[in-house]
Amino acid sequence: MLNAVAALPAPLPLPALPALELWVLDAALPGVEVLVLDPEERSRAARMGGEDRAAFVTAHVLLRRLLADRLGVAPQDIAYRREPCPRCGALRGRPALASPHRSLHFSLSRRAGMILIGIASAPVGVDVEALPARATATEVAELLHPEERAEIFAVAPATRAEAFARVWTRKEAYLKAVGTGAGHGLEQDYLGAEGRAPAPEDFTIADVPVAAGYRAAVAVRGASTPRRARTG
């Protein structure tokens, strides 16, 4: 059995952000052991097929092993819960540790084989997206903050998908860190491209370098210095 954590190189320093680790994979790892997942995760994996299932299993096994390494427990002994949404109060906010009871925060995102995991000492959100079709970017951009829409439509149509994905991943990462998710407030908080929009109070938001054809971002409460690891 492949040890997914051991397969990763040592994290590299990223000067922009301290107390945050980012792990990026551009492919599913072979031989990852599905039995460390809980029944809900295994049930979700069973409903998937092919590459999507492999990427799901890799992402969730890797998250468990990274958390287990930091908490000193077995990966299968980690249990999750949902925090209350800060806007509606329903138990569909940030995923959190139910066991062991430690103050460690995490976020996971995956798209088309690309996996991004963030672990931090403060609330964190990550998002990775494949560049969408131009028509999709144009349509969904209408849901965003007016200044974000203006930023996206200011670029040439040929680069609009890139501009949209840059804004969208920053927005998704922030909403994950806040705990509301994209179901609330897409039109609020101008996040825009890095360097153009000030981050919301108490948050640091940064683009994450990933492979061509993708965009990614991280949001973490407070100022931090991230480390990044990559394999694949």
What average pLDDT is seen over the chain? 82
- Domain 12-231, CATH number (from 2.20.25.90, 3.90.470.20, 3.10.20.90, 3.40.50.300): 3.90.470.20
- Assigned token pair, 51: 């590459």
Say yes or no to pLDDT of 225 above 50: no
Give me the pLDDT at residue 154, please.
92
CA distance 44 to 56: 9
Reduced 3-state DSSP string for 67-120: HHHHHCCCHHHCEEEECCCCCCCCCCCCEEEEECCCCCEEEEEEECCEEEEEEE
- Assigned token pair, 30: 């072979």
- Assigned token pair, 60: 């969730």
Q: How do 203-207 and 214-221 pair as beta strands?
A: antiparallel
Average pLDDT over residues 85-107: 83
Average pLDDT over residues 12-38: 69
Name the pTM for this structure: 0.85
Give me the pLDDT at residue 195, please.
66
Give me the pLDDT at residue 7, please.
42
Question: Could you state, in order of their start, the residue ranges of all structural domains in the chain?
Answer: 12-231
Give the lowest-confidence range in 5-9, 157-161, 187-191, 228-232. 5-9
Residues 153-174 pLDDT 10s: 999 999 999 999 999 999 999 9
Give the lowest-confidence range in 90-94, 182-186, 228-232. 228-232
